[in-house]
Amino acid sequence: MNIELKEKFYSFQKNDGLYCKLKGIGFSDYLSLTCSTDAIKSLDLYCPVCKQEKTFVFQGNVTVELLGRNEYPNGPGKSYCGATRLLSYECPTCGKKLLYAFYHNGSEIVKIAQYPSFYDVSRDELKKYKKNDLIDEESFNQIYKADICASSGYFVAAYTYMRRVYETLMLSVFKQNETNIDVSEEEFKKLGGHDKIQKIRSYLAIDDGIYGPLYSLLSGGIHTYTEEECSDNYAFLKIVLLDVLAEQKAKKERESNREVVLKLYSKMKSEGK
Ligand SMILES: [Zn+2]
């Protein structure tokens, strides 16, 4: 089995959403990739039961006979079995099962099931942000929707939600500092993504040039990139976006705490204490 092909399949299994396809794979390669010898033996993933990253261990593969007894769509014209395969894994700590199902469609592999889904897992990951009050509720709801879209393979929609979150963040930073900025809200709204950053640059929580590239990548997901590119970059961009949101919220809280302390100090001082 060719290593490059294996790595391609491993990344597909781990990172791609439901109904995503891995093209140009023959049936015999498919059988090898999903056989007990060559299947991925362990997967580092967030366990929704243990509530932390765990190494899921390979338990076995199952060939679903009946589901696989279909005609080859463009193939030799006779039925074949084994087109649907399940790979099962288990969390060694709590026994939580992780299941993948693939279907071979003549010349490509389709991911037809994953349990728990990305949605279940990322919803849990995302909940950490909500539970610890790291991001605001509206952003949480929007990213939650992005996750639902992404887990079904609707990446353009997912990027649309993420960019909306980003735009809302930019506007809220503007509003908090409006009196110090030389454009009105209406004018600000009409500016392009990069000009907006220039106007509010000194009020952003992270001053490291992440905003421009993040904005371009999110917009690229909506207008330019292929589904594959969107799928490859989704999880990573989401983490960066969550980090930016959390930092901005922390900055706001830091500033308001600072104000309280300064007020308290001047009050005590004026009372001669
Ligand atoms: Zn577990």
Give the residue extent of every domain in the chain: 3-116, 120-262
> What is the 120 CA–ligand 1 centroid distance (Å)?
14
> What is the 128 CA–ligand 1 centroid distance (Å)?
17
Q: Torsion-angle region of residue 24: left (phi > 0), alpha (psi -120 to 50) or beta?
A: left
**Which residues of the chain are modeled with pLDDT < 70?**
64-82, 118-124
> What is the 56 CA–ligand 1 centroid distance (Å)?
8
pLDDT at 148: 83
Strands (E), the chain: 21-23, 42-47, 52-64, 70-71, 79-80, 84-90, 97-104, 108-115
Q: 3-state DSSP call for residue 36? A: coil
Strand partners, 47: 52
pTM of this structure: 0.61
pLDDT digits (tens, 9 = 90+) for 156-206: 899 999 999 999 999 999 999 999 999 999 999 999 999 999 999 999 998
Q: Which residue has the tokens 């509530």?
A: 51
pLDDT at 118: 66
List the shell of residues around ion ligand 1, using CB closer than 5 Å: 47, 49-50, 54, 91, 93-94, 96
> What is the 6 CA–ligand 1 centroid distance (Å)?
26
pLDDT at 260: 94
> What is the 50 CA–ligand 1 centroid distance (Å)?
4
Distance CA 119, CA 137 (A): 18
Which tokens go with 113? Answer: 């099931």
The single-letter code of the amino acid at 175 is K
pLDDT at 119: 62
> What is the 43 CA–ligand 1 centroid distance (Å)?
12
pLDDT digits (tens, 9 = 90+) for 244-262: 999 999 999 999 999 999 9
Which tokens go with 178? Answer: 């409006």
pLDDT at 9: 94
> What is the 57 CA–ligand 1 centroid distance (Å)?
11
